[in-house]
Amino acid sequence: MGWSTADIKPENILLLDSHCQQVKLADFGLAQKRGTMIRFITGTLPYMAPELCSMALLDGQREVTAPPLSVEPSLDTWAFGVVIFCILTGYFPWDRCMDSDDFYQEFAGWCRMEQRSYTEKDIPPLWKKFTPEAMEMFGKLLALDARDRCSVGEVRGYMEMEWMKKT
């Protein structure tokens, strides 16, 4: 069946050796079985997928108006993509995955391009420092549509790529 931690962030990633070869996740307080229907979730906004941000109670909001959401591993895939961005840059790509966030809006616009380009002129400003290979990975980890995000197995595949090992 599988589980989703629904709270992947640097504070919940344990490095067990000095070479960062052994990594474990911690804090499963928000974990849910795959397929569980939820109406509300808490978490850390910058790491939350767009479909989760629509379910988070924001400042001044009294109730969630979004329809129930099925918990899937794609929620963790998204959060992992944000963690990788933070590790490589030292900052968040956005505050929250909502159209009101300009940085998210720039990235979402790039993701929505039919013929997505990996050339520097087409990539949003915060993302220009990455190689085309890295942008391809981010495009799969952070796909706006959860059905288009890569699987956990594909995530592992990206981590095994030679260019990633050099970072």
Q: Give the per-residue pLDDT at 116.
A: 66
- Tell me: pLDDT of 13 over 80: yes
Domains of the chain, each with CATH number or no CATH: 3-165 (1.10.510.10)
Residue 121 bridge partners (DSSP): none
Q: Give this prediction's pTM.
A: 0.86
Q: Give the per-residue pLDDT at 64.
A: 64
pLDDT tens profile 64-88: 667 788 899 999 999 999 999 999 9
Nearest to 109 by CA among 120, 130, 96, 124: 124
Nearest to 135 by CA among 163, 166, 114, 160: 163
What is the spatial distance between Cα 156 and Cα 159, in angstroms, rounded to a whole number? 5
pLDDT tens profile 20-74: 888 899 998 888 999 998 877 767 888 989 888 877 655 566 666 677 888 999 9
Q: Which of 7, 76, 99, 145 is catalytic?
A: 7
Is 59 among the residues known to form the active site? no
